[in-house]
Amino acid sequence: MNTLDSFAPRYAQIMFGLAVGEVVGIFSATVKVDLMGGTGGSKLGSGWINYDLEASGLSGISDDVANFSKHFPQGSVSEIVANNPQTTFLSEVTPSLESGGTITVRGNMTNKYFKGIYNGKAEGLENYNVISRTENVPNKGYMKTGGNDPVTGKINEIILMKKTN
Amino acid sequence: MIAKKITERIDEIDSFESKFKGVVLKNNNLIIPYFNLGVSQHPLNEMNDLKYLNFSYIVCLNVSYLAGWSEEERIDVVIIDGIKKEQVYYFGGENLDDKNSIFNDFKICCKEIYLQTLDTTELSDKKWKMDDEFIKEKVSDFWNGKFMPTAVKELIG
């Protein structure tokens, strides 16, 4: 099965609740990914796909971030949110993000992967413009890995926009 | 693992999901005992994904700036307001002494900082569980300072 074949039915299911195979014109839909969103489906609401090693359910894709582009063809994703990322990911998701697409990353400065992005040192940042950097954003009940312990501490946010090719 | 003082790549240490207890600030030196400190792209683990140290210390010498995050007020509370250098270190995680303590996350400037491993330190691909039978007793001894190297003890003596 090529990438496009595997991509289409899954998004038809997620975006429109269709059974596999009922794919009609979904590529105009906005694809939004909750990256490393934890166990189960996305906690960000409907229309978000949870991409995490422990994702499950209709709106979840369980895989390593290294395989992101196998699930999302080039330029097919318009928005990514990564709350407290637990690994490096910018280089892996960049091909799948459309030009002008955004990545919102929130996290604590004790999280080395977040800190690398927030401080402008992470690999892959050269493909992005920084739209905003905000200190101390509200904690909307984020959870640590495993989903049992709440995230504490100061949470900062950075929004990146992919440069136009 | 052998007891070792590691000064390289402090920024590659991740304490976001670690636990700490019994923090000591004395003689301008700050000692943070850590369980489950994460390392990657670091001398102890060169890979991209985190590996976890069961027992270790973060040691900061001649602290010139120290702020602790107040979860209740959602502000940084400055504890030592000296020279704030360009290089700021961030350490935190879960404070087992008081989850609502102002010492939840630390923002630190200091003259020297290092990771201190112990003879009892082990590295794991997965997070250690404090209540696992085989490690429970060691955890208790660690929090009580039983494994603290003499050189570290002397800093706060």
Take residue B147 and report the two structure tokens written for it: 């494994």
Global pTM reads 0.87
Give the CA dihedral B48, B53, B57, B63, nearest 10 degrees.
20
Superfamily (CATH) of domain A29-162 = Vaccinia Virus protein VP39 (3.40.50.150)
List pLDDT tens digits, range B2-20.
889 999 999 999 999 999 9
Read off the pLDDT band of A42 (50, 70, 90): confident
**Average pLDDT for A49-72:** 92
Q: Cβ(B96)–Cβ(B19) under 8 Å?
A: yes
**Average pLDDT for B116-125:** 96
List pLDDT tens digits, range B42-83.
999 999 899 999 999 999 999 999 999 888 888 888 999 887
List pLDDT tens digits, range A6-18.
454 455 455 544 4
Rounded to a whole number of angstroms, the distance from the CA of B43 to the nearest CA of chain A is 15
ipTM: 0.92
Query: Which residue in chain B is spatially nearest to A155 when comparing CA positions?
Result: B74
Q: Which one of B11, B14, B16 would you mutate to disrupt binding with A, by most A Cβ within 10 Å of its Cβ?
A: B16
pLDDT at A2 exceeding the cut of 60: no
- In chain B, what percentage of residues exceed pLDDT 90? 73
Inter-chain CB proximity B105 and A84 less than 8 Å: no
Read off the pLDDT band of B1 (50, 70, 90): confident
Q: Where in chain A are the domains?
A: 29-162
Average pLDDT, chain A: 83
Nearest to A160 by CA among A131, A127, A121, A124: A131
CB-based contact, A88 to chain B, within 8 Å: yes
How far, in Å, CA of A149 to CA of A58, rounded? Answer: 25
Rounded to a whole number of angstroms, the distance from the CA of B52 to the nearest CA of chain A is 13
How far, in Å, CA of A2 to CA of B22, rounded? Answer: 55
pLDDT at B100 (0 to 100): 55
pLDDT at A23 exceeding the cut of 70: no
Inter-chain CB proximity A152 and B17 less than 8 Å: no
Give the CA dihedral A61, A67, A71, A72, nearest 10 degrees.
120
CB-based contact, A53 to chain B, within 8 Å: no
Read off the pLDDT band of A93 (50, 70, 90): very high
pLDDT at B99 (0 to 100): 58
Rounded to a whole number of angstroms, the distance from the CA of A28 to the nearest CA of chain B is 35
How far, in Å, CA of A165 to CA of A100, rounded? Answer: 9
Inter-chain CB proximity A108 and B105 less than 8 Å: yes
How far, in Å, CA of B75 to CA of B1, rounded? Answer: 38
How far, in Å, CA of B31 to CA of B113, rounded? Answer: 10
CB-based contact, B13 to chain A, within 8 Å: yes
